[in-house]
Structure 1
Amino acid sequence: MKVLYVASEVAPFIKTGGLGDVAGSLPKALAAKGCEVAVVCPLYSKIGREWRDKMYYIKSLYVQLAWRNQYCGIFVYEDAGVKYYFLDNEYYFARNQVYGEYDDAERFAFFSRAVLEMLPEIGFRPDVINCNDWQSALVPVYYCLNYNYRPWYEGIKTVFTIHNIQFQGQYGREILSYVLGIDDYHFDNGFMQQDGDVNMMKAAIVCADRVTTVSSTYAGEIQTPFYGFHLDPVLRWNQGKVSGIVNGIDVDAYNPETDPHLFKNYSVNTLDDKKENRKQLLAMCGLQADDETPVIGMVGRLTSQKGLDLIQCVLNDILEQDVRLIVLGTGDYAYEQMFINAKWQYPDKISTNIMFSNDLANKIYAGCDLFLMPSLFEPCGLAQMIAMRYGTLPLVRETGGLKDTVIPYNQFTGEGTGFSFSNYNAHEMLHVIKSACFLFRHNQEAWRAMQIAGMTTDFSWDHSAQVYLDLYQSAING
């Protein structure tokens, strides 16, 4: 089977979030199962010289986008059985940031059109094209409108993966023909239109042969008004082709036995060495705690999606307990200030780090006892799986991938890999935090059993990659 994986970011070349991690890991897992995989991504100026020097120029072509005829250079790099293609156009991709430009609609429409134009030029005819989020949502749209009737392209199947339905590629009607090169008729008939705007994600959901999300719970959630961001009726109408496949993590990169960022490496068999990471992390953050004081970590974006308004409501209540809190991340100004002010108020209990550092992130995963992630919605989430990999118990809200990956502690059987609460309620979260802290202080045997259960859970891409292959095959079979 031949698969083309289309993404607007791919780790380790360029990454702003979870999509980059997935695009960097899933294709390698597919290739390991015998699939012939190619990945395509824009050649951003922010991709470092260490990667550019390893790429080879293949050829160039011109891509028609509405009335424009734009240059596109094709570069390739091969690693671990995967070919990575990079599409070059400095007008679109030599920018200071990956997203957030005034002409993002045009930039990624060019990228989507160039992906399809590139295929015969490189002699790669995929059985399946897997696109991701709104930045490549026009690939299945252009395929349906302009390519599927051409002999070379005939029979290619398209899969569209939704990583976060909140961002849909919504723009005014005026871009449809002038920028995207799609006839206004497709706005009037509703195909490209949602709530009076052009909506690229909606069109991809309609056009694609299969639609996936990054967890099974999220696949169901986005078919409801609360989580669907106005696309829930479209997803319910197309529910027969919608499914959820939980993401994996790179278990080699996140491995407490070999992670170079840790103060001391450890495994499930040498779990006591985790305490050295705890001790050194506290010292690094200017905090002190005895063995019975739970250390809670938070790593990620400081936004309302991540449940920060819940924390804002009860932060004083949390810090009035005998706990230590270590926070790492950037985001909304109000939440950054909340943690900065808390540091002034509770200097001996909280470490506030308004930045992002992979080194400190891994030290937090390894050195904390609890990992707090009370998201309002979470399509999949990787941090909770990374935390479990390091023997740090996640405390999450039961939504999306958090519900699918964290088994809540059962006091009667001792089973579980973490703690959870269901309602989006600050005091329900606070109650679970207090219960977890009580367990930490008074039942280390149960705590250790959960650590081992989490560390020995298979969070690799192996299983998920097979589910993707089965999905691809079902699309090919029709």
Structure 2
Amino acid sequence: MSKEEKKILFVASEANPYAGTGGLGDVIGSLPKSIAAADPQADVRVVIPLYGTIKEEYRKQMTKVDEFYVGLSWRNQYCGVYMLKNQGVTFYFLDNEYYFKRNVLYGNYDDGERYAYFCKAAMEMTARQNFIPDILHANDWQAALSVIYLKYKYHFPGTKAIYTIHNIEYQGMYGLEILGDVFDLGPEAQADVTYNGCINLTKGAMVCADKITTVSQRYSEEIRMEYFASGLHYAVRDCSYKLCGIVNGIDYAEYDPKKNKDIPANYSKTNMKNKQLCKLEVQRLFGLPESPHPPLVAMISRLASHKGFDLVRYVMEDLLQRDLQFVLLGTGEAELEQFFDNMSKKYPQKCRVMLAYNKAIAKTIYAGADIFLMPSKSEPCGLAQMMACRYGTVPVVREVGGLYDTIHAFNPETGTGNGVTFKSYDAYDMLNAVDRALGLYENQRNWKKITYNAMDSDFSWQRSAQSYLELYNSIL
């Protein structure tokens, strides 16, 4: 970007550490800070709702900077604006207890109205704060209306809009009868937001945005196909001329095997001796026999079929005939929880599960496992495979979405590659990939090289931030 100051506003429904349910919160908690660090001339700001779940320790850091009323069709709703600064980024929190003082972020009957209010309030707030952005960067369907409102209501001079799709399964679909009553849009906007006979906020934001991004290059190509697009492929194809993909990153300070206090022992890519101590701790935590030799295969994930658990389930008996140990951390579909719990009871010396999620235990598993299994059916980006690499745990992944972009098959002849991959969504192709990883494990030279390559991979937010800055500059 040029040296003159650029104003960048991220609009999103969550941002860690304040509020988050998954990958979106990680992105909005990290990417704006990395952009601010990469371009000191950029004025980077983020706006999210002030949820009732935000902890008091963060509320104490906030300052109230404004209050006003937001018109949304026939409604006139209060909005308080709170602000704090964190690592060069200004975070705004929009307060309305009627909409946001709830126990969960999503899944309410009135989510459409809640996020229509949020988007309208965000646009009003930025105008009142005298911060007309050069770049309005909206994320997922909850923020989609900010892009649509920019076109139809606010017309900020010079503002360009970017819309990022983090997961195309979630589109914000509603009946056309609430176009005006809930979303405060007139008939002139109907064509832009209509898809398959209903309101589709993701489609509307795609049409109205200057650029569309996804969270990996491969995913930007996949969602043009019906198989991956959750029905939105025709709209994606129509907008493909302004679509690109930029891979997410991970927080290198939080996931640092050299310095993390959450893991039993620290190590680096040039001295991995202490990784064995982490492995022994995982074995102790899960009640497995403590031994350095059997390769430890791990999965950390929400238990859902599209994460590849149906493949694992199909060949689990075969998998456990191998000379390995298997651990699983996560919760999800009851049927899958029951299956893996049964496997744990049937093979207590080889398979153990923890039907929960604990971030500190997850880090210990990343540090202690030898192989990380991630056979997703679809994966817009994926962060777990990057975290595994960071700790020198070799990923076995399916070549899909962000997994394809980040994990490359190890070639013993050239010594290149940071993981083991397979193409087809097939249980025995997956099992074959695990066998290949086990073969590498038995060859000390190959294993030393692939683990070094994994740890040497660059999944920092700095790289992603530079790509976004180049994208911003291309449309200004």
TM-score range, shorter chain: over 0.9
Deviation string 1:368-423 (CA, Å, 9 cap, x unpaired) is 00000000010110000010000000000000110000011113323211111001
Distance 1:322 1:23 in 2: 41
Are residue 474 (structure 1) and residue 474 (structure 2) matched? yes
TM-score, normalising length: structure 2: 0.97
Partner of 1:314: 315
Distance 2:469 2:135 in 1: 10
Partner of 1:81: 88
| Paired residues for 1:67-466 under 5 Å | 67-148=74-155, 153-184=156-187, 186-187=189-190, 190-441=191-442, 443-466=443-466
Contact between 1:166 and 1:229, CA under 8 Å: does it hold in 2?
yes
| Paired residues for 1:23-42 under 5 Å | 23-33=28-38, 34=40, 35-42=42-49
Distance 2:161 2:386 in 1: 29
Distance 2:389 2:223 in 1: 26
- Matched letter for residue 455 of structure 1: M
Deviation at 1:358, TM superposition (A): 0.2
Contact between 1:289 and 1:324, CA under 8 Å: does it hold in 2?
no
- Matched letter for residue 295 of structure 1: L
Deviation at 1:184, TM superposition (A): 4.2
Distance 2:24 2:444 in 1: 37
Distance 1:16 1:332 in 2: 17
Partner of 1:57: 64
Distance 1:353 1:195 in 2: 42
- Matched letter for residue 120 of structure 1: A
Distance 2:440 2:409 in 1: 13
Distance 1:277 1:402 in 2: 25
Deviation at 1:36, TM superposition (A): 1.1
- Matched letter for residue 63 of structure 1: V
Distance 1:322 1:289 in 2: 14
Deviation at 1:300, TM superposition (A): 1.4
Distance 1:308 1:250 in 2: 27
Distance 1:226 1:22 in 2: 26
Distance 1:178 1:335 in 2: 42
Partner of 2:3: none
Deviation string 1:19-70 (CA, Å, 9 cap, x unpaired) is 0000011000110122210010000000000000110001101111111010
Deviation at 1:121, TM superposition (A): 1.3
Change (3 A) 1:165 1:215: same
Contact between 2:192 and 2:208, CA under 8 Å: does it hold in 1?
no
Contact between 2:280 and 2:292, CA under 8 Å: does it hold in 1?
no
Partner of 2:15: 10
Contact between 2:372 and 2:385, CA under 8 Å: does it hold in 1?
yes
Deviation string 1:214-240 (CA, Å, 9 cap, x unpaired) is 000000000111111121111111111
Deviation at 1:185, TM superposition (A): 5.2
Distance 2:293 2:364 in 1: 20
- Matched letter for residue 171 of structure 2: Q
Deviation at 1:173, TM superposition (A): 1.9
Deviation string 1:148-175 (CA, Å, 9 cap, x unpaired) is 1xxxx21211000000000000112222
Distance 1:139 1:444 in 2: 54
Contact between 1:408 and 1:418, CA under 8 Å: does it hold in 2?
yes
SS of 1:39 mapped into structure 2: strand
Distance 1:184 1:353 in 2: 52
Deviation at 1:179, TM superposition (A): 0.8
Contact between 1:302 and 1:330, CA under 8 Å: does it hold in 2?
yes
Deviation at 1:291, TM superposition (A): 3.2
Deviation string 1:182-208 (CA, Å, 9 cap, x unpaired) is 124543xx3211122210000000000
SS of 1:279 mapped into structure 2: helix
SS of 2:192 mapped into structure 1: coil
- What is the root-mean-square deviation in Å for CA atoms of aligned residues? 1.0
Distance 2:192 2:130 in 1: 32
SS of 1:255 mapped into structure 2: coil
Identity, % of aligned pairs? Answer: 45
Deviation at 1:301, TM superposition (A): 0.8
Deviation string 1:340-385 (CA, Å, 9 cap, x unpaired) is 1111111111111111100110000000000000000101100000
SS of 1:174 mapped into structure 2: helix
Deviation at 1:320, TM superposition (A): 1.8
198-207 vs 291-300, which deviates more? 291-300
Distance 2:152 2:387 in 1: 41
- Matched letter for residue 306 of structure 2: Q
What is the aligned residue count?
469
- Matched letter for residue 345 of structure 1: K
Contact between 1:292 and 1:440, CA under 8 Å: does it hold in 2?
no
- Matched letter for residue 83 of structure 1: T
SS of 1:362 mapped into structure 2: helix
SS of 2:319 mapped into structure 1: helix
- Matched letter for residue 47 of structure 2: V
Contact between 2:68 and 2:80, CA under 8 Å: does it hold in 1?
yes
Distance 1:42 1:404 in 2: 32
TM-score, normalising length: structure 1: 0.97
Distance 1:66 1:420 in 2: 51
Distance 1:343 1:192 in 2: 49
Distance 1:123 1:355 in 2: 45
